[in-house]
Chain A
Amino acid sequence: MNRDLTQTVARIAGVNPRACMRCGKCTGACPAYDEMEYHPHQFVSMVETGRIDELLRSKGIYTCLSCFACIERCPRQVEPARLIEAVRVLAERKQGADHLRPQDIPARLDPDMPQQAITSALRKYRR
């Protein structure tokens, strides 16, 4: 339970997790459902109850597609993807916690891959 972290996450995300009414529309809408151990509505609830450390260790923060479906459909403007992003940012701001290092890239590269994929992934996966 970590109230300070909850506040930090809410501040970075600019949304209020307490506004969530647990309707699960986000989770119903999520295309990455099968890839996330904590589904969007659980994510919100865990932020609210201060279980940030578990989230920081979660793989789900890297499998969120940032497709904004949950943001679009959330009836309470809680916008789970913003919270997920905030936790991810928090994880990567720790030194050496990059999820993707530049030196990892050549191995994953394929000649047709657009530049956009690489910059986006670098923006998303490392500090």
Chain B
Amino acid sequence: MQRIGVFVCWCGTNIAATVDVQAVSDALAKEPGVVLSANYQYMCSQTGQDLIETAIREHALTGVVICSCSPRMHEQTFRKTVARAGLNPYLLEIANIREQCSWIHKDRAQATEKAIILGRAAIAKVQLNTPLQAGQSPVTKRALVIGGGIAGIQTALDIAEAGFAVDIVEKQPTIGGKMTQLDKTFPTLDCAACILTPKMVDCAQNEKIRIFSYSEVEAVSGFVGSFRVTIRKKARYVREDVCTGCGLCTEKCPQKKVPNAFNLGLDTRRAIYIPFAQAVPKVAVIDADYCSMLKNGKCGVCAKVCAAGAIDYTQKDELVECEYGAIVAATGYNPIDLSGYDEFAYSRSPDVVSSLEFERLMNAAGPTGGTLLRPSDKTHPKTIVFVQCVGSRCSAEGKGKTYCSKICCMYTAKHAMLCREKYPDTDVYVFYIDVRTPGKNFDEFYRRAVEEYGVHYIKGMVGKVSPEGGKLKVQASDLLDGRQLHIDADMVVLAAAIEPDKSARPLATMLTASMDTNDFFTEAHPKLRPVESPTAGVFLSGCCQGPKDIPETVAQASAAASKVIGLLSKDSIVCNPCVAQPDELMCNGCSSCEKVCPYGAITYLDKEFRGPNRTTLLRRVAQVNPAVCQGCGACTVACPSGAMDLKGFSNRQIMAEVDAICR
């Protein structure tokens, strides 16, 4: 037999002014199962809470109903109160008679009547409440960061700084990501390498950090606190533990015609290579597509010259399995492929380059040693045209991206400024649609490009670029001046839209993390939880969540790290006990629930059941992982047999509320 206590709060006059609290407590006292009905000025006060605690003990209450403010306000407070008195905290229901009653209604009689009905519904529900135990799930004290660009590096360093082990998985042979390819960074014009490479070295030297370079995530299972991840370490044909990074092999390799991916194909490298001087780890790797030893067994020069004996042509991909408590996606971005933009003659002229290629052409470690030369004839360009928004801000039906790539306005201003600074005799034109510079010192930077450096900013998109007689004929409109312009340029630089790395989509599937239509990872809440994925234990860092510049990326990387640290500092996670639970006897194993579960919390098990005449039957039944289930209840409605129910919001509980309200 239930022994329910009802406590009606006055909330000073907030409730008592429009609701006759005495009448409410009197009326509710008559409800079945109610053994005590009291009212008090402030239930949430110390005295009020003491009143509840004492009553629970003295009357051996089995359930508590508090008629007060919204449960969103004080449900947690009162759960603790109830727990202090030794009652399960989930044997409590709150009737919201303030926000949804006394504050809404003016008529005292009506408000009082409604408060009684809401109280009755809570009593009807609490009758069916069951004690719930918040589950505990252990936390593996190691994090995985997928992607070793500036985002991944910063996240890993911060996590390691807090004392937790962290692994970085990077698909390239070195960490560093896009930032290694940049020349200077806006708006301060520091050299990208100067600020990045120390961080890369920190990663390598930090004993808490393991770097899986030239590796990819192959499979992910498990859930928050205990993910199980398979990592594929791709064969580099060089023993990482033996190679000293001396680079002799990369000088002696006879295969010289390999397009250098680090310089975006603007020059060549050998078949065995170290991506760049400050690579981490500084270990050579053989490009199997070009190595003649690997292709047809002839050559072997690198093995001969390697004093350390690090070359191993028989190396195979290796699969490593590790456990992690948290995973951070930091898969970054790429500029879009510009071959669909031949109105700008990108594939017809080598002198039409993307902005990232331009970075390499300006970079001291780039193909031209930092002197800006046209790729076609290695001469100094005198007239340079920058085209903004190439492939950004397009309509959904078109070939480009619908979003603004965010970083282009600033890096174009940087490029224009650097050109004018290094080569004052060049004419630099920037064709823009809008110049977007929201950021600290950003607009000032852009204005300097215009005012101090004399860059010609022209509003209007370029209509066509055609290579002719060694020049690039640029046809555009100056919308403010009302003129059509024809410029004979030496070089055209296209600010290509950026898009998420292609590896992000399959990774999202493995992580059951959601993505938007552009393949950016979705955050748990666009404003309030910007670095968490809706999937518990998966966090987002950098451009994989949306276009952003370096300062923003680093800020988000540290934010993601702090979320990871918060998770890893717990020994176990307290789970929400209001999770789905299947009744195995009724479960058909039909997979309807699994199909609607946004978290992948449901799995199936073939289980033996007793059949008629002492037979046993093997039946497929659903299992809910309480650590993964977030308690939305989508499965409970999808379940045709009603085997799936939601603790704390069970079918019977809600039906009882409905009945009480409609009575």
Contacts and interface: CB of A to CB of B under 8 A. Distances in A.
Interface in B456-485: 459-464, 475-477, 479, 482, 484
Interface in B548-574: none
Contacts of B460: 23-25, 27-28
A38 B482 CA distance: 10
B433 interface: yes
A26 B463 contact: yes
Nearest to B391: A75
Interface in A20-51: 21-30, 33-34, 39, 41
B109 interface: no
Contacts of A25: 460-463
A33 B484 contact: yes
B317 interface: no
Contacts of B316: none
Contacts of A76: 393-395, 398
A23 B484 contact: no
B95 to A, nearest CB: 49
Interface string B474-505: 01110100101000000000000000000000
Nearest to B464: A29
B389 interface: yes
B463 A27 contact: yes
B425 interface: no
B403 to A, nearest CB: 13
A27 B393 CA distance: 18
A75 B390 CA distance: 9
Given A21-B393, A21-B433, A39-B477, A28 B464 contact: yes
Interface string B389-407: 1000111011010000000
A72 B400 CA distance: 13
A19 interface: yes
Nearest to A16: B395
A24 B389 CA distance: 12
B395 A75 contact: yes
Given A41-B479, A77-B395, A28 B463 contact: yes
A25 B460 CA distance: 7
B246 to A, nearest CB: 50
A5 interface: no
Contacts of B400: 75
A19 B463 CA distance: 18
A30 B484 contact: yes
Q: Could you say which interface size class chain B belongs to?
A: 20 to 34
A69 interface: yes
B479 A27 contact: yes
Contact of B475 (A22, A29, A34, A41): A29
Contacts of A19: 395
A24 B479 contact: yes
Contacts of A21: 393, 433
Given A23-B433, A25-B463, A41 B477 contact: yes
A10 to B, nearest CB: 15
A73 interface: yes
A50 B397 CA distance: 26
B463 A73 contact: yes
Given A29-B475, A39-B477, A41-B477, A24 B461 contact: yes
B343 interface: yes
Interface residues of A, number: 21
Nearest to B400: A75
B290 to A, nearest CB: 38
A22 B394 contact: no
Contacts of A28: 460-464, 475-477, 484
Contact of A29 (B343, B393, B482): B343
A103 to B, nearest CB: 36
A75 B476 CA distance: 15
B398 A23 contact: no
B463 A77 contact: no
B433 A22 contact: yes
A21 B475 CA distance: 19
Interface in B372-421: 389, 393-395, 397-398, 400
B324 to A, nearest CB: 42
Contacts of A24: 433, 459-461, 476-477, 479
Contacts of B484: 27-28, 30, 33-34
Nearest to A29: B463
B477 A27 contact: yes
Contacts of B398: 75-77
B459 to A, nearest CB: 7
Contacts of A23: 389, 393, 433, 460-461
A29 B484 CA distance: 9
B619 to A, nearest CB: 54
A22 B484 CA distance: 15
B343 A73 contact: yes
Contacts of A77: 395, 397-398
Contacts of B389: 23, 75
Interface in A63-120: 69, 72-73, 75-77
Nearest to B343: A73
A39 B461 CA distance: 14
B463 A30 contact: yes
A24 B388 CA distance: 12
A75 B475 contact: no
A105 B393 CA distance: 46
Contacts of B475: 28-29
Contacts of A69: 463-464
B393 A75 contact: yes
Contacts of A73: 343, 463-464
A22 to B, nearest CB: 7
A24 B482 CA distance: 10
A20 B475 CA distance: 20
Interface in B96-131: none
Contacts of B393: 21, 23, 75-76
Interface string B21-37: 00000000000000000
A24 B479 CA distance: 7
Nearest to B474: A28
Contacts of A41: 477, 479
B269 to A, nearest CB: 36
A73 B476 CA distance: 12
Given A25-B461, A27-B460, A75-B393, 5 more contacts: A23-B460, A24-B476, A39-B477, A41-B477, A69-B464
Interface of B: 343, 389, 393-395, 397-398, 400, 433, 459-464, 475-477, 479, 482, 484
20 contacts: A23-B389, A23-B433, A23-B460, A23-B461, A25-B460, A25-B462, A27-B479, A28-B475, A28-B476, A28-B484, A29-B463, A29-B475, A33-B484, A39-B482, A69-B463, A73-B464, A75-B389, A75-B393, A75-B398, A76-B394
The 3 A-B pairs at the shortest CB distance, nearest first, are namely: A28-B463, A29-B463, A25-B461
